[in-house]
Amino acid sequence: MLTERLKWLVAQEVLERREYSTRPVRYEYVLTERGMELVDLLMVMGWGDRWLAGSEGPPVYYRHHACGEISHVELHCSVCDKPMNGTNIDVLPGPGSA
Q: What is the pLDDT of residues 8-42, one digit of tens each?
A: 999 999 999 999 999 999 999 999 999 988 887 77
Question: What does pTM read for this prediction?
Answer: 0.57
Neighbouring C-beta atoms of residue 15, cutoff 10 Å:
20
Neighbouring C-beta atoms of residue 59, cutoff 10 Å:
10
- What is the predicted pLDDT for the residue at 40? 77
